[in-house]
């Protein structure tokens, strides 16, 4: 039994060493990577993701049709990479958050290309992808009807049109971050009273300069499962929002986290 465990450990260590070596010398083996089985590719992609070494010129060699998750937040990729994900028909989650400031290389065109192929996406992170426009989010809502979690915080070109499309199409949406965008009360009303109203549990709308107390009130009144509501740094909010929270957050409230700034 002990020998079996030791052998298994040795094989795992050898695999780990081989993958690290492959990542370090990827260019030397690039032409053969496509022959690897999906489970090995998944481990390779995970390692490359953590090191930020996935790029436009190698992503097509490591992705595969059974892939379910892809983290590109540490990697320097562009629309060219997203176009190569058309084979990933089973993709459920993609992380394109810009972790080192804003990014301009992922644009509306890339997102539209992605969602036209990957209809099963449930979790999409696009934080600080500042070239993303409403057209991308409309396409996402129309093509990916299982969408549950969306982060478009810091996507400064986003307006009410995106929230209107999500309210109309994204019945399963549970969590959304649209902080630091150009949305107004009208967009929030469309979202909070839309098809996702019974599912929404988490809303981040901090830093939205155009929102008023009406936005807070409609979420509290229309979304019975809301448990996290973030709306600090919204300069048009007044004490009305605090009162609304107190009135609607009784002893049986499901609220877990609320942050706000009253001006």
pLDDT digits (tens, 9 = 90+) for 215-248: 999 999 999 999 999 999 999 999 888 888 877 6
Q: pLDDT tens, 193-204?
A: 999 999 999 999
Structural domains in the chain?
66-260 (3.80.10.10)
DSSP the chain: -HHHHHHHHHHHHHHHHHHHHHHHTHHHHGGGGGGS-HHHHHHHHHHHHHHT---TTTHHHH--TT--EEE-TTS---HHHHHGGGG-TT--EEE---SSS-EEEEEHHHHHHHHHH-TT--EEE-TTEEE--HHHHHHHHHH-TT--EEE-TT-TT--HHHHHHHHHH-TT--EEE-TTS---HHHHHHHHTSTTTTT--EEE-TT-TT--HHHHHHHHHH-TT--EEEETT-TT--HHHHHHHHHH--TT----EEEE---
Q: Is the pLDDT of residue 10 over 50?
A: yes
Q: What is the pLDDT of residues 144-188, one digit of tens each?
A: 999 999 999 999 999 999 999 999 999 999 999 999 999 999 999
- pLDDT tens digits, one per residue of 93-129: 999 999 989 999 999 999 999 999 999 999 999 999 9
Q: What is the pLDDT of residue 242?
A: 81
């Amino acid at each position: 039994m002990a020998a079996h465990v030791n052998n298994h450990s040795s094989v795992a260590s050898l695999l780990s060493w081989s993958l690290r070596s492959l990542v370090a010398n990827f260019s030397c083996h690039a032409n053969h990577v496509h022959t690897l089985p999906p489970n090995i590719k998944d481990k390779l992609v995970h390692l490359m993701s953590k090191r930020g070494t996935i790029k436009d010129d190698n992503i097509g060699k490591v992705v595969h049709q059974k892939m379910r998750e892809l983290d590109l937040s540490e990697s320097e990729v562009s629309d060219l990479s997203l176009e190569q994900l058309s084979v990933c028909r089973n993709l459920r989650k993609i992380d394109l958050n810009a972790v080192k400031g804003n990014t301009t290389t992922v644009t509306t065109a890339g997102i539209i290309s992605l969602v036209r192929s990957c209809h099963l996406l449930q979790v999409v992170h696009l934080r600080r992808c500042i070239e993303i426009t409403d057209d991308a989010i409309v396409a996402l809502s129309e093509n990916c009807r299982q969408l549950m979690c969306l982060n478009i915080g810091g996507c400064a070109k986003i307006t009410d049109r995106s929230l209107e499309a999500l309210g109309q199409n994204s019945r399963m949406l549970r969590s959304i971050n649209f902080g630091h965008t150009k949305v107004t009360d009208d967009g929030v009303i469309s979202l909070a009273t839309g098809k996702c109203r019974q599912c929404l549990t988490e809303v981040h709308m901090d830093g939205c300069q155009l929102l008023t107390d009406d936005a807070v009130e409609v979420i509290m009144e229309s979304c019975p499962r809301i448990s996290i509501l973030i709306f600090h740094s919204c300069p048009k909010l007044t004490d009305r929002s605090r009162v609304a929270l107190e009135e609607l957050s009784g002893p049986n409230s499901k609220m877990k986290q609320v942050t706000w700034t009253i001006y």
